[in-house]
């Protein structure tokens, strides 16, 4: 089976509308790459941007702290890219999490992650453009700059997942083998049990297959998901075109929530 056959997104049957922006009682969970920041050729190519940082800061203030970044990146990378604007955050697909109060929690890494990193590095050594990312809790194999390596990468990652018990997490031109036991959905669920998120309307905004667990969790808790990017079969109820549309929408959410707060004062 090819990578395209294994993880291609078939044509959608339903066109999703844009999400509402009157969400003063919402809790927003935002993916990073492809949602707050454009996708880049390499992970390191994404850096802080003042407009993005201000948008997250304004949104957090307008929603009384009910904003968290939920990403496949590590917490350290999240902090670097949003320049510390996200107090609450979850990294490595739910395997590490920081609450709004600053409390940290993380799973213990599977010893098999080191085996996966070594195998990925051997694979990348003979394939220019293929990059390996060691997150401690997971191993990532990036081939955005070497798309011809996709099928071989899938075969390698699938075999390693079967041999090691690591969870295979496909993304946008990346395959990740991660410590089992958590995903973006478990992160959203955990946040919703804590202040200041508890009792709010959960909204998960994401672009990739890794975000589907977050969409499902938000829906199960009475909220909804927002897909960013092209139409595809998804658990999300709404859709936005791209990062620019996300930032415009977040600005409208912030303005409306701030207006509600002023009216209630």
Predicted local distance difference test score (pLDDT) of residue 133: 95
Predicted local distance difference test score (pLDDT) of residue 41: 86
Predicted local distance difference test score (pLDDT) of residue 92: 96
SS3 9: coil
Q: What is the DSSP letter of 44?
A: G
Q: What is the DSSP letter of 124?
A: H
Given 3-state DSSP classes, what are the helix, strand and coil percentages for the chain, each rounded to the nearest 5? Answer: 40, 20, 40
Strands (E), the chain: 26-30, 67-70, 88-91, 96-98, 104-106, 131-134, 138-142, 167-171, 174-178, 201-206, 224-228, 238-240
Predicted local distance difference test score (pLDDT) of residue 9: 43
Residues 6+ apart with CB under 8 A from 262: none
Catalytic residues: 31
Asked if 227 and 249 count as a contact pair (C-beta separation under 8 A), the reply is no
Asked if 149 and 127 count as a contact pair (C-beta separation under 8 A), the reply is yes
Q: Give CA–CA dist 143/132, Å, rounded.
A: 9
Kindly list the distances between the CA atom of residue 265 and the CA atoms of 59, 235, 258, 259, 260, in Å, as whole numbers in the listed order. 18, 37, 11, 10, 9
Q: Give CA–CA dist 86/104, Å, rounded.
A: 14
CA angle 12, 26, 185 (to 5 degrees): 55
pTM given for the model: 0.90
Predicted local distance difference test score (pLDDT) of residue 263: 60
Query: Which residues of the chain carry a pLDDT beneath 70?
Result: 1-14, 261-265
Q: Which two tokens stand for residue 52?
A: 């993005």
């Amino acid at each position: 089976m090819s990578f395209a056959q294994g993880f291609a997104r078939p044509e959608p049957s339903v066109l999703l509308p844009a999400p509402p922006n009157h969400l003063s009682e919402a809790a927003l969970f935002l993916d990073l790459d492809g949602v707050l920041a454009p996708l880049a050729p390499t992970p390191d190519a994404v850096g802080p941007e003042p407009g993005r940082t201000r948008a997250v800061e304004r949104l957090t203030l307008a929603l009384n702290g009910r904003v968290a970044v939920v990403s496949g990146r590590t917490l350290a990378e999240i902090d670097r890219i949003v320049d510390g604007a996200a107090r609450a955050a979850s990294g490595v697909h739910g395997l590490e999490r920081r609450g709004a109060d600053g409390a940290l929690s993380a799973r213990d890494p599977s010893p098999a992650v080191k085996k996966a990193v070594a195998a990925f590095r051997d694979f990348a050594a003979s394939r220019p453009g293929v990059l390996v990312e060691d997150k401690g809790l997971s191993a990532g194999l990036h081939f955005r700059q070497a798309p011809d390596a996709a099928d071989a990468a899938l075969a390698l990652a699938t075999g390693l997942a079967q041999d090691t018990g690591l969870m295979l997490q496909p993304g946008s031109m990346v395959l990740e083998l991660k410590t089992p036991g958590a995903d973006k959905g478990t992160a959203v669920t955990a946040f919703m049990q804590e202040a200041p998120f508890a009792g709010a309307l959960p909204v998960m905004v994401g672009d990739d297959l890794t975000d589907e667990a977050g969409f499902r969790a938000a829906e199960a808790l009475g909220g909804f998901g927002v897909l960013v990017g092209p139409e595809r079969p998804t658990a999300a109820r709404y859709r936005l075109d791209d990062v620019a549309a996300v930032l415009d929408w977040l600005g409208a959410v912030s303005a409306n929530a701030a207006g509600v707060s002023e009216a209630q004062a």
